[in-house]
Amino acid sequence: MLLNKKLTLPANEPRIDLLVQRLTEVTRSELRGLFDHACVRLDGHVCAQPNATGRAGQTLEVTWEAGRRYKEKPKERTNRDFIIAFEDKFLIVVNKRAGVLTVPTDRKEDDTLVHAVARHFSRGERITHRAWIVHRLDRDTSGLLVFARTEEIAAAIKDQFEARKPEREYIVLVAGRVPNDAGTIRSHLMTNDDLDQYSTNVPGEGKLAITHYKVLERLRGATLLQVNLETGRRNQIRVHFAERGHPVLGDVRYRPELARHPAWHEKRLALHARTLGFKHPVTGQAIRLIAETPVCFAAFVRAAR
């Protein structure tokens, strides 16, 4: 018999796993199995992380079969370049560490993320199964990326990106105090001879780039932002905020003279792709994943308050 229970999250924003256990009364091992088997949804999106927290008013839904034992899947495998956030026989979502190239440059590097994922698919150092790239992150940016196991699956997910359907949320630290609590930056981006991106006012030129942002906290000499991309142009977040005098901390390319802060000691961009949501191209399942913000962000916020 299929069981289904729902509740509205209370104001104290408890951990999702504790609420699920309260609803289902399963063991801790079986509880993790419910998350692993996509039985838990938050506002209609699959919630795959037991330690996630929700917001007051969100709807938590658990659907499971009575009497079935939902076994916990093996722990996610890791390597030096990424952590697996989601994987099935069609695609994989990974949490990339900062400092790793997504794809090779003109130098034809062979130690990029796409190589690492291909080795994972091939289950060995010798690459026998290609990883198909869907989108990219800058070398010094961390966070969630999706790769496909076939060209057809990659094309289907790319179509969603072209239609601006996926949810892409970033956590960003920028220089200075951003004055507005929220806003949208819209421009057309072009590439100059040095391969830098910039906004153009010339009608009909450049590619439309739309960035939505919300201030999470204003700090001494910096601002913590939540940024949502409507489009995903190369260096979009970096360019949009640098052009407004608030470059991403640690950026050595766009307004580097402003991108320094005495409390930011990391040799990386203060830019993290935290949330990725999209529709599974085969199953139709709504997938929404959250990559925990790197600890260096929290350390900076404490130091700059």
Q: Please, what sign has the CA dihedral across residues 99, 103, 106, 109?
A: positive
Buried b (16+ CB within 10 A) or exposed e, 188-199: bbeeeeeeebbe
Pairwise CA distance, residues 240 & 197, whole Å: 10
Strands (E), 149-194: 167-175, 182-191
Location of structure tokens 């069609």: 90
Pairwise CA distance, residues 297 & 216, whole Å: 13
CB 50 within 8 Å of CB 31: yes
The question of whether 138 is a catalytic residue gets the answer: yes
**Would you call 303 exposed, middle or buried from its count of C-beta atoms within 10 A (0-12, 13-18, 19+)?**
middle
Please pick, among 17, 43, 88, 138, the residue that the annotation labels catalytic: 138
Strands (E), the chain: 2-8, 40-42, 45-47, 59-65, 82-87, 91-96, 132-133, 142-148, 167-175, 182-191, 197-200, 207-219, 222-229, 271-279, 286-290
Buried b (16+ CB within 10 A) or exposed e, 83-117: ebbbbeebbbbbbbbbebbbeeeeeeeeebbbbbb
Pick from 240, 233, 234, 262: which is nearest to 250 by CA? 262
- Catalytic positions, written as ranges: 138
